[in-house]
């Protein structure tokens, strides 16, 4: 229970910090780093969920743009090399998990009496 409560509190804390970052970024920061956003306000509420979820990335990129730290050429370098490993890992993972799932299925292939797996969590 303590771990579950801690995780929920962590998520709440993440969201609160994200809300603060969203407020500052969408009111002040976005105008400083993107000329296309200057004078455009209606689309900004659409960005709030994204900032809430990935605010560390937002802060990192904001700092990169403000400090001109990113090399311009990196923007035009597609990440094709990662595609193969990503789809191979996904495919192998799916095959393994489906086989694992079906192998422990109690009603597969024939109906059998269900077995209680554990005594259950303490309430």
Catalog residues that contact another protein under the rule CB under 8 A. 1, 3-5, 7-8, 11, 33-37, 39-40, 42-43, 46-47, 49-50, 52-54, 57-58, 61, 65, 70, 72-84, 86-91, 93-95, 97-98, 100-107, 117-118, 121
Question: Is the CB of 20 or the CB of 53 nearer to another protein?
Answer: 53
Cα–Cα distance, 94 to 90 (Å, whole number) = 6
Shortest distance, CB of residue 15 to another protein, whole angstroms? 12
Provide the 10 A C-beta neighbour count for residue 29. Answer: 19
12 vs 20, beta carbon nearer another protein? 12
Kindly state the smallest distance separating residue 2's Cβ from another protein, in Å. 9
Give me the DSSP letters along 4-71: HHHHHHHHHHHHHHHHHHHHHIIIIIHHHH-GGGTT--TTHHHHHHHHHHHHHHHHHHHHHHHHT-S-
Q: CB 101 → another protein: shortest distance, Å?
A: 3
Provide, rounded to whole angstroms, the least separation between the CB of residue 113 and another protein: 14
Tell me which DSSP letter residue 73 carries.
Answer: G
């Amino acid at each position: 229970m303590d771990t579950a409560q801690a995780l929920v509190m962590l998520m709440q804390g993440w969201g609160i910090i994200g809300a603060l970052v969203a407020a500052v970024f969408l009111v002040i920061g976005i105008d400083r780093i993107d000329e296309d956003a200057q004078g455009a306000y209606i689309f900004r509420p659409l960005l709030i969920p994204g900032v809430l979820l990935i605010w560390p990335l937002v802060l990192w990129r904001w700092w990169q743009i403000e400090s001109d730290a990113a090399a311009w050429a990196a923007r035009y370098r597609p990440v094709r090399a990662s595609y193969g490993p990503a789809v191979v890992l996904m495919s192998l993972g799916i095959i393994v998990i489906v086989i694992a799932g079906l192998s422990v299925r109690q009603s597969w292939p024939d109906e059998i009496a269900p077995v209680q797996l554990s005594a259950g969590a303490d309430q």
